[in-house]
Structure 1
Amino acid sequence: MFLIDMFNRKTTMPSPAEILPGRAGEVSAAQDHALTGLPLKGPFDERLEIASLAMGQFWGAEKLFWSLDGVQVTAVGYAGGTTPNPTYQEVLTGLTGHAQAVRIVFDPARIDYTDLLALFFESHDPTQGMRQGSDIGTFFRSAIFASDDRQLAQATAVADTYRKALSEAGRDARITTEIRTCDAFYYAEAHHQQYLFRNPAARSGQKPSGVAFPRSAKA
Structure 2
Amino acid sequence: MSRPPIEIETAPNPTASVILMHGLGADGNDFVPIAGELDLSAVGPVRFVFPNAPVIPVTLNGGYQMPAWFDIAATDFNVQEDAAGLRRSQATIEAVIANEKARGIAADRIVVAGFSQGCAMALLTGLRHTERLGGIVGLSGWLPLAASTAAERHAANHDTPVFLGHGRQDPMVPIARALQSRDALAALGYTVEWHEYAMAHSVCMEEVADLNDFLLRVLR
- Structure number with higher relative contact order (C-alpha < 8 Å, ≥ 6 residues apart): 1
Work out which of the two has the higher radius of gyration on C-alpha atoms and give 1 or 2: 1
TM over 0.5: no
Q: Greater helix share, 1 or 2?
A: 2
